[in-house]
């Protein structure tokens, strides 16, 4: 993919990522997060990782954010809009974020591997989904099963918690 | 990126969008009115042009010339954004659907990505934002109820939709939609095993779960496109039109067009997955001359039109479900059927190599 597209999508992601924090309207924040996810998905696809990109859209933008929006819209938003901005806390947050950014730049700048140029991507001849499936079920079968049991336990827990009392 | 690829892709996008999909959308609205009229023993719109064929043109002119009215207390930006978000996802799902074989050696699919069906689901799942936002931005209780209903309905039925197609891909072994069509050309349509080699027992056995898969998928598409019997988000009798109550003129029309475009892309998927796409027994593909290429495209859209007719037929035949019935049906019935179906197909595949 041409670098121009990378810059467009990276900028899109960053701008809307900032908009998530800056917006006073929670619905606007949630929608900004959706656009940010779409930008991220586009970046994944630019690396030929179609499967990861599409799953990003399908799971995060398509399902989780819809649930978020669903909950937010049921709340009373006026209280959130009227709340005063705590400038001291905002400045502190900005400072911490800047410090973290400086650290990352410093560490990455001194890393030897970061100076090297990556070899060009080799187009895969087999299918994304097939490769991921083989990897999950062959190499990482045990962790995959454990995650499956964890998810099952969580599902049972959710059902139990949200169940109405039966008398 | 060579210029040939870019030019042909642009031509395909423009051609399919402006010459096929958008006219089809507007004539689907006309067809809906005529079909409903014939089912209710009326005539339907038959005044504008021969048999009322210019009715869509008159409708669009009327809608465009209406005052672009927006109520006082709406959230203006999102109020305007919602109709666009409702139409666009429905249109761009067509990108991965192979609508023909080849024409002058150019494959008739806009983007042949290796995660085809997942792309369709991802984009279709974005369609809910238009409806939810319309309901919220209108700042009115009926549209809001419609938006809330729509989001819960779409999330519930996306599960059955996704699970229903897994058997197809278990058999094909690939998520690419062109591979699905290719497989069906070689082995017969999934829904019609008598096409091609009909002596194969395994193929006949596979047809049973495939048919269940087809039924579940079809019903989930009904729910995803908010068509009756699952049109709870816009139920006129309960919600006064649901999420588009506060919309008028062309903005309302965009919602309407979005619904029909979603119906067309849903039908295109049904045709691709279960009815062999552009294939018809005895008709060669585009490699034998451009006439056959055009015939393949025409065949595909003829099949799509038949599926759309089934959509309309169901709409004017069945009454609407209640919301709790809809949810129970989705979670306690179709979800389980689709899940069991996957195991059945996997079992058949394991014991009967086809």
- Please, what are the averages of pLDDT over each run of 10 residues along chain B (354 residues)? 78 83 85 87 82 83 82 80 86 84 75 82 84 81 81 81 86 82 79 70 78 88 80 70 75 84 88 82 73 82 89 85 82 87 86 66
Residues B239/B60, Cβ–Cβ less than 8 Å: no
Domain limits for position A151: 127-167
Per-residue pLDDT, A102: 93
Per-residue pLDDT, A124: 62
**Chain B residues within 8 A of A155 when measuring between CB atoms:** none
pTM for this structure?
0.83
Chains A and B form CB pairs within 8 A to the count of 69
Per-residue pLDDT, B196: 66
Domains contained in chain A, number:
2
Which residues have CB under 8 Å from B63's CB, separation 6+? B249, B250, B252, B253
Residues B242/B200, Cβ–Cβ less than 8 Å: no
| A119, A159: one domain | no
Residues B118/A51, Cβ–Cβ less than 8 Å: yes
| A90, A134: one domain | no
| A43, A57: one domain | yes
| A133, A62: one domain | no
Taking an 8 Å cut-off on Cβ atoms, the answer to whether B175 and A129 are in contact is yes
| A13, A86: one domain | yes
Q: Determine the Cα–Cα distance for residues B87 and B264; give it in Å rounded to an integer.
A: 12
- Signed CA dihedral, A127, B211, B25, B183: sign only: positive
Among candidates B115, B144, B147 on the partner chain, residue whose Cβ is nearest the Cβ of A50: B115
Residues 85-114 (B) with a CB less than 8 A from some CB of A: 113-114
**Chain B residues within 8 A of A51 when measuring between CB atoms:** 115, 118
ipTM rounded to 2 decimals: 0.78
Listed by start position, the domains of chain B span 69-351
**Chain B residues within 8 A of A61 when measuring between CB atoms:** 122, 125-126
* Buried b / exposed e along B266-300 (16+ C-beta atoms within 10 A): bbbbbbbbbbbbbbbeeeebbeeeeebbebbbebb
CATH of the domain at A33: 1.20.120.1200
Q: For A31, which residue in chain B has the nearest alpha carbon? A: B129
- Tokens 């019903």 — which residue? B219
Q: Which of A31, A24, A4, A161 is nearest to A84 (CA)?
A: A24
Residues B44/B52, Cβ–Cβ less than 8 Å: yes
Q: Determine the Cα–Cα distance for residues B205 and B166; give it in Å rounded to an integer.
A: 17
- Tokens 């919220």 — which residue? B136
Q: Which of B208, B159, B190, B167 is nearest to B336 (CA)?
A: B159
**Chain B residues within 8 A of A58 when measuring between CB atoms:** 118, 121-122, 125
- Signed CA dihedral, B246, B251, B256, B261: sign only: negative
**Chain A residues within 8 A of B136 when measuring between CB atoms:** 27, 73
Strand blocks (E) in chain B: 102-103, 106-107
Per-residue pLDDT, A80: 66
| A63, A98: one domain | yes
| A108, A62: one domain | yes
Each residue's pLDDT, cut to its tens digit, for chain A (167 residues) gives 567 888 888 999 999 998 888 887 888 888 899 899 989 998 888 887 888 888 888 888 888 888 888 788 777 667 666 777 788 888 898 899 999 999 998 888 887 777 777 777 666 666 777 788 888 888 888 999 999 999 999 999 998 888 776 65
SS3 B107: strand
| A140, A79: one domain | no
| A146, A115: one domain | no
| A105, A33: one domain | yes
Residues B220/B164, Cβ–Cβ less than 8 Å: yes
Two tokens at A26? Answer: 């929670």
Q: In angstroms, what separates the C-alpha of B78 from chain A's closest C-alpha?
A: 9
Per-residue pLDDT, A143: 92
| A53, A111: one domain | yes
| A153, A119: one domain | no
């Amino acid at each position: 993919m041409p670098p121009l597209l990378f810059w467009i999508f990276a900028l899109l992601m960053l701008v809307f990522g900032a908009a998530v924090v800056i917006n006073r309207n929670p619905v606007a924040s949630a929608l900004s997060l959706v656009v940010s996810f779409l930008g991220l998905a586009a970046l994944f696809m630019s690396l030929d990782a179609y499967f990861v990109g599409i799953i990003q859209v399908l799971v995060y933008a398509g399902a989780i954010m819809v649930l978020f929006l669903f909950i937010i819209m049921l709340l009373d938003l006026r209280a959130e809009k009227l709340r005063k901005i705590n400038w001291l806390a905002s400045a502190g947050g900005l400072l911490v974020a800047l410090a973290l950014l400086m650290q990352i730049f410093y560490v990455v700048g001194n890393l030897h591997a970061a100076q090297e140029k990556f070899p060009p991507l080799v187009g895969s001849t087999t299918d994304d989904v097939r490769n991921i499936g083989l990897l999950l079920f062959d190499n990482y079968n045990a962790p995959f099963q454990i995650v499956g049991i964890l998810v099952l336990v969580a599902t049972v827990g959710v059902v139990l918690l949200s169940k109405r009392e039966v008398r | 990126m060579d210029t040939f690829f870019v030019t042909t892709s642009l031509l395909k996008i423009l051609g399919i969008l402006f010459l096929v999909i958008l006219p089809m959308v507007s004539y689907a609205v006309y067809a809906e009115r005529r079909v409903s009229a014939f089912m209710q023993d009326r005539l339907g719109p038959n005044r504008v042009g021969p048999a009322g064929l210019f009715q869509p043109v008159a409708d669009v002119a009327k809608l465009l010339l209406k005052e672009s009215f927006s109520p006082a207390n709406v959230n203006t930006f999102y109020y305007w954004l919602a109709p666009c978000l409702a139409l666009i996802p429905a249109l761009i799902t067509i990108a991965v659907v192979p609508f023909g074989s080849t024409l002058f050696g150019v494959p008739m699919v806009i983007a042949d990505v290796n995660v085809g069906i997942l792309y369709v689901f991802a984009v279709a799942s974005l369609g809910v934002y238009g409806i939810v936002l319309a309901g919220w931005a209108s700042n009115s209780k009926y549209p809001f109820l419609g938006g809330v209903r729509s989001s819960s309905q779409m999330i519930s039925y996306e599960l059955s939709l996704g699970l229903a197609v897994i058997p197809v891909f278990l058999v094909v072994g690939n998520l690419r939609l062109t591979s699905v069509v290719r497989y069906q050309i070689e082995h017969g349509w999934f829904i019609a095993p008598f096409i091609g080699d009909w002596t194969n027992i395994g193929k006949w056995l596979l047809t049973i779960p495939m048919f269940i898969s087809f039924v579940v998928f079809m019903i989930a598409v009904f729910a995803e496109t908010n068509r009756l019997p699952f049109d709870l988000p816009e139920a006129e009798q309960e919600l006064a039109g649901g999420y588009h109550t506060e919309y008028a003129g062309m903005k309302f029309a965009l919602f309407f067009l979005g619904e029909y475009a979603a119906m067309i892309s849903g039908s295109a998927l049904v045709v691709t997955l279960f009815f062999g796409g552009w294939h018809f027994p005895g008709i060669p593909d585009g490699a034998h001359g451009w006439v056959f290429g055009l015939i393949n495209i025409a065949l595909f859209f003829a099949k799509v039109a038949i599926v759309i007719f089934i959509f309309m037929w169901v709409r004017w035949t069945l009454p609407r479900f209640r919301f709790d019935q809809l949810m129970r049906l989705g979670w306690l019935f179709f979800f389980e059927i689709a899940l069991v179906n996957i195991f059945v197909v996997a079992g058949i595949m394991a014991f009967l190599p086809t």
